[in-house]
Amino acid sequence: MDSLESRKRQGGCMKFLGEYWALLIKMLLLTKRKRGQTIAEFLLAYIFLILLLAMRYLLDRSYYQARQMTAFRPYDSMLSNSTTANITYYYPYSVCTDTIVRTAVSNLALNVPGFPTSVQSISDPTLSSFSNSTLETIFAYVYFTNIDASCNTYTSIPDQVQYTLRMQENGLTYYRAQQVKLSESDYFWKRSPEDYCQDNKTAINYTTQFLGVQYFIDLSIIEYTTSISQSISSIYMYHFGCPEVYLDQLHSGFNFFVPLFYSIIYVVTFILNVGYIVEERANKTKEYLRIFGLRTWVNNLVWVTRSMFIFFILTCISTGLSKVPLKGSSSAWNSASKAVFNYTHWTVLWTVLFVYSIQVSTFAVLFGQFFKRTLLAKLIGLIIWILTFIDYYSSAPVGLRYFLCFFPNAGLLFCIQVMEQYERRSSGMVTYGELYSNIFVYRLYIGLCLLLMLIYSVIYMFLAIYVERVNPGEFGISQPWNYLFRKSYWTSSRVQPADIGNNFSKIHNDTPNNNNWIELNHVEKKKNPSMTIDHLTKTFGNFQAVSNLSLEFYSGEVCTLLGHNGAGKTTTTFILVGMLIFIENFD
């Protein structure tokens, strides 16, 4: 029994290899016949790769060393105020608040040359009643939220004084509050936290204006409530510091172009493969393959092989050139050498592109099953290619991103986005050890994306078989959409052979044993036929292609159908191999 099963497995394997080899030769002959398209396929891919390298050369990569501000007193960096904004306002008016604010302003004037000493209380805490000209005079506005107008002595002040401090945000000292609080989409996909740290424009108002005023108000509150003079030089502030970083324009402001160019490198082969697959459906190639006993799913594997052969070469060359360092294109002192990927190991980049090429190859096989016209398939394929690559997902949850890996372009986009996070960080090297990690709490992992892309590739191949049987095109018999759930599909039914010897139709002279009957000699010898056709009729509209045909096939013999054009030879053959339904009057 084991020996029999082993022989069956070997026979099945040899059958598969034979079919695969035959179809591979067919594909190679087709490629040779269309060598111009194949050459253009390679050239266009390399042109887009050169464009990516050109962009890499033009976009600069600059080095910024670690930066840390020296210890400073809160008022050391304060700048003198303009002549327009020169009044310090406060609310509400009371003896307590007036004393606190005036003491703070006096100390500021002593320590900051040119600081304006004008102080004024206001009656409207919302400032809504102020004219524009009055608003322009505000240097600082102090709003005490838990001290009311009845406060006359320090004993009336609460244990914890609460106040808000508002200042002008115009000109060079604009606070840029929208940049201080970074959105996740900014530091996930655009700029690294290290990059933002090196940019001190977001803190210039804080260090040159706000910090000093806040410091002297706090000292004034402490001095007023404790009646103890405070030393203004005993407190220093320390900066946490910023790590060294390479600011790379390619992976920051132009980061979208990196996955885009990699995708375009593969798009030409994808479009051509879709065209070849649809062309086979349109010219009956798959139907003729069935006549010769070749399974169409093996043909799908051959098309995957063709594209993977081209993609393998493109992947290796793209990976190698992406790791070649180029000299800095700027004359600035901090211009650094640069490659497309500086902190990603070549094995990771190669793996991402290789898995992407597998998914693109299988997706082309599936996509081609939906169309009958080559040009339409190519146009829609290109549109889908573009739509699936636009980054709509900056704020998308992780689960949705993993689901969208169903589309090859989305999977490539997500993988390269994570790789660019490491590139912007400018430290360490992305290796296989980081496939299931992320530098942020956002759990988008390269390894999981690649795994899903491979799983989706297998699903594509099974879906291609399903769609091909449900939608065989102009030729072939379509299965119902739920054929997989029908018992008749998985089990064969026994058919009782007809006794042809007792059912002869009389021909010409009504003699049943007349030699005009097909295969009469074998019938007379009572040899059991391998297959019997009994009174087969097939019509297309008003045209009768096959009329009352009876025929027997015997094992070990060759049967040839002879007849004039239109006699029904092709129709009969298509019915026998399952390309046409044999029910009478059914098209």
Query: Looking at residue 417, what is its pLDDT?
Result: 93
Contact 282, 374 (CB under 8 A): yes
Q: Please compute the mean of the pLDDT values over residues 386-396 and round it to a whole number.
A: 85
264: pLDDT strictly greater than 80:
yes
142: Cα within 13 Å, side-chain hemisphere:
33
520: pLDDT strictly greater than 90:
no
At 28, is the pLDDT very low, low, confident or very high (cuts 50, 70, 90)? confident
If you count DSSP H runs as helices and E runs as strands, how many of each does the chain have, helices first? Answer: 20, 8
DSSP 158-223: -SS--EEEEE---GGG---HHHHS--HHHHHHT--HHHHHH-GGGGHHIIIIIHHHHHHHHHHHHH
Torsion angle, CA of 430/454/396/266, rounded to 10 degrees? Answer: 80
Q: Please compute the mean of the pLDDT values over residues 457-468 and round it to a whole number.
A: 91
Q: Please compute the mean of the pLDDT values over residues 118-123 and round it to a whole number.
A: 92
Query: Looking at residue 513, what is its pLDDT?
Result: 47
158/498 Cα distance (integer angstroms): 108
Query: Looking at residue 506, what is its pLDDT?
Result: 43
Q: Please compute the mean of the pLDDT values over residues 520-542 and round it to a whole number.
A: 67
Coil, strand, or helix at residue 89?
strand
262: Cα within 13 Å, side-chain hemisphere:
34
520/516 Cα distance (integer angstroms): 8
The per-residue pLDDT for range 476-514, each reduced to its tens digit, is 667 777 877 777 767 765 555 555 454 444 444 444 444
198: Cα within 13 Å, side-chain hemisphere:
16
Residue 523, C-beta contacts closer than 8 angstroms, at least 6 positions apart: 500, 501, 517, 552
> 193: cis peptide before it, omega within 30°?
no
- Reported residue count of the chain is 587
At 516, is the pLDDT very low, low, confident or very high (cuts 50, 70, 90)? very low
575/564 Cα distance (integer angstroms): 18
- CA nearest to 63, candidates 317, 244, 250, 219: 244
In 543-585, which residue ranges form alpha helices assigned H by DSSP? 569-576
Cα separations in angstroms, 321 against 51, 117, 269, 416: 12, 64, 20, 16
Kindly provide the residue ranges of all beta strands, DSSP E only, lying in 124-277, ordered along the sequence.
138-144, 163-167, 245-248
Per-range mean pLDDT, top range of 425-439, 475-489, 573-587: 425-439
Characterize 136-155 residue by residue with b for buried, 16 or more Cβ atoms within 10 angstroms of its Cβ, and e for exposed: ebbbbbbbbeebeeebeebe
At 396, is the pLDDT very low, low, confident or very high (cuts 50, 70, 90)? confident
| 175 or 6, greater pLDDT | 6
Residue in the block written with tokens 């030879």: 569
Q: Please compute the mean of the pLDDT values over residues 92-118 and round it to a whole number.
A: 92
The per-residue pLDDT for range 312-367, each reduced to its tens digit, is 999 999 999 999 999 877 677 788 889 999 999 999 999 999 999 999 999 999 99
The per-residue pLDDT for range 224-250, each reduced to its tens digit, is 999 888 788 778 888 888 888 898 989
Contact 335, 325 (CB under 8 A): no
Long-range own/partner contacts, residues 374-380 (CB < 8 A, 24 or more apart): 374/275, 374/278, 374/279, 374/282, 377/274, 377/275, 377/278, 378/271, 378/274, 378/275
- Domain borders along the chain are 2-57+249-470, 87-241, 494-576
DSSP structural state of residue 152: -
pTM of the entire predicted model = 0.73
227/27 Cα distance (integer angstroms): 95
492/486 Cα distance (integer angstroms): 12
Q: Please compute the mean of the pLDDT values over residues 100-104 and round it to a whole number.
A: 95
High-pLDDT (> 90) share of the chain, %? 34
The phi and psi torsions of 121 (rounded to 5 degrees) equal -90, 160
Q: Please compute the mean of the pLDDT values over residues 427-451 and round it to a whole number.
A: 91
587: pLDDT strictly greater than 50:
no
| 329 or 274, greater pLDDT | 274
Cross-strand partners of 344:
430
Burial of 384 (0-12, 13-18, 19+ CB in 10 A): middle
Contact 467, 366 (CB under 8 A): yes
What are the structure tokens assigned to 125, written together? 């805490």
DSSP 4-33: HHHHHHHHHHHHHHHHHHHHHHHHHHHHHH
Q: Please compute the mean of the pLDDT values over residues 157-177 and round it to a whole number.
A: 75
What are the structure tokens assigned to 44, written together? 């266009």
Query: Looking at residue 492, what is its pLDDT?
Result: 61
User: In the predicted model, what is the mean pLDDT of the chain?
Assistant: 82
Cross-strand partners of 63:
246
Per-range mean pLDDT, top range of 64-68, 309-313, 484-488: 309-313
Give the least confident one: 13-22, 127-136, 443-452. Answer: 13-22
Q: Please compute the mean of the pLDDT values over residues 58-84 and round it to a whole number.
A: 81
Kindly provide the residue ranges of all beta strands, DSSP E only, lying in 408-542, ordered along the sequence.
531-540
6/508 Cα distance (integer angstroms): 54
What are the structure tokens assigned to 541, written together? 């509209």
255/263 Cα distance (integer angstroms): 14
